[in-house]
């Protein structure tokens, strides 16, 4: 099986420019890349003076498009390019709203969406969105179950620890179960992905991703799930240049990777969309 290779939109360096989005999406589709990946952060904040300290990579200086809006725009100007979130911070969002947004993108794109989800790291963002940072792990598991029910059941009654619905549902619903992949960097995430995910998104070096995939494989075997039916994507964030990206992707392919994503951010290209396309 050939590994599918996509690209990540350089959102922290080129944002708010519809002409740049159009040029980038059309170019990568023409070059034969299979999918466009988008990152997710709703609230951006400075790290200084925070307790507990924020350890993630992004601050108020970084720009992020909403993935669903970006994909809706991109779906209208492309025909083959698939779309993937890498990853959507699901437990800081309202589950029913995500269900409808994802359904709409999948419908208008003619079933080109893959929803990668994770639990996030920025407690300031959770607080700003009115959600509990400390329960995000438990909540994401409930949300995955709830999303799948919302996508298939016209009128639903659901009572969970965090969400409830009384004889209601979304409409329109997608024509299929949208693939739900899990992302993360811990043993808990690897087990969760193997148990409830359709695949896993690894943001690591080639060697690190192969090692992490081994942990997911272990949990798949423990759960009696078929590895062949489980997707796995490397987001090659830590490759420093083109050759290292190729090396990471080759190692990932040889280890059985099904998907890979190539980012052009943090390569010194700045806001020049043509430079990102050339890369």
Residues paired with 61 in a beta bridge: none
Given this model, what pLDDT does residue 206 score? 85
Ramachandran assignment for 184, one of left (phi > 0), alpha (psi -120 to 50 degrees), beta (any other): left
What integer pLDDT is reported at residue 204 of this predicted model?
A: 87
Residue 277's H or E segment, with its range, is: helix 273-278
User: For the chain, how far is it from start to end, CA to CA, in angstroms?
Assistant: 26
pTM of the entire predicted model? 0.96
**Residue the block writes with tokens 């990579």:** 57
How many Å apart are CA 276 and CA 267, to the nearest integer?
Answer: 9
Asked whether the CA dihedral 107, 42, 193, 2 is positive or negative, the reply is positive
Q: Which of 64, 50, 118, 107 lies closest to 83, judged by CA?
A: 107
Q: How far apart are the C-alpha atoms of 211 and 278, rounded to whole Å?
A: 31
Encode the chain (279 residues) as per-residue pLDDT tens digits: 699 999 999 999 999 999 999 999 999 999 999 999 999 999 999 999 999 999 999 999 999 999 999 999 999 999 999 999 999 999 999 999 999 999 999 999 999 999 999 999 999 999 999 999 999 999 999 999 999 999 999 999 999 999 999 999 999 999 999 999 999 999 999 999 999 999 999 998 888 999 999 999 999 999 999 999 999 999 999 999 999 999 999 999 999 999 999 999 999 999 999 999 999
Interior CA angle at 162 toward 183 and 55, to 5°?
A: 40
The β-bridge relationship of strands 199-203 and 231-235 is parallel
**Contact yes or no for 141/192 (Cβ under 8 A):** yes
Q: What is the pLDDT of residue 136?
A: 98
Kindly report the number of other CB atoms within 10 A of residue 180's CB atom: 21
pLDDT of the residue at 1? 65
């Amino acid at each position: 099986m050939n590994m599918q290779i996509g690209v990540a939109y350089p959102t922290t360096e080129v944002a708010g420019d519809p002409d740049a989005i159009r040029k980038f999406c059309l170019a990568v589709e023409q070059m034969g890349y299979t999918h466009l990946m988008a990152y997710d952060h709703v609230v951006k904040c400075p790290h200084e003076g925070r307790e507990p300290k924020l350890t993630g990579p992004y601050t108020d200086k970084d720009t992020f498009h909403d993935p669903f809006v970006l994909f809706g725009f991109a779906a209208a100007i492309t025909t083959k390019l698939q779309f993937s979130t890498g990853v959507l911070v699901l437990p800081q969002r309202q589950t029913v709203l995500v269900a409808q947004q994802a359904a709409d993108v999948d419908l208008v794109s003619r079933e080109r969406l893959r929803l990668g989800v994770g639990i996030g790291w920025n407690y300031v963002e959770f607080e700003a969105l009115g959600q509990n940072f400390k329960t995000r792990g438990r909540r994401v598991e409930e949300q995955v179950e709830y999303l799948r029910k919302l996508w298939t059941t016209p009128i639903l009654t659901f009572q969970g620890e965090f969400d409830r619905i009384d004889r209601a549902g979304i409409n329109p619903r997608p024509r299929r179960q949208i693939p739900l992949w899990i992302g993360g960097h811990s043993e808990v995430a690897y087990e969760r992905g193997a148990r409830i995910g359709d695949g896993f998104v690894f943001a690591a070096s080639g060697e690190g991703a192969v090692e992490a995939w081994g942990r997911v494989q272990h949990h798949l075997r423990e759960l009696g799930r078929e590895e062949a039916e489980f997707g796995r994507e490397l987001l090659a964030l830590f490759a420093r240049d083109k050759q290292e990206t190729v090396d990471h992707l080759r190692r990932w392919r040889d280890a059985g990777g099904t998907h890979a994503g190539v980012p052009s951010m943090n390569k010194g290209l700045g806001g020049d969309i043509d430079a990102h396309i050339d890369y």
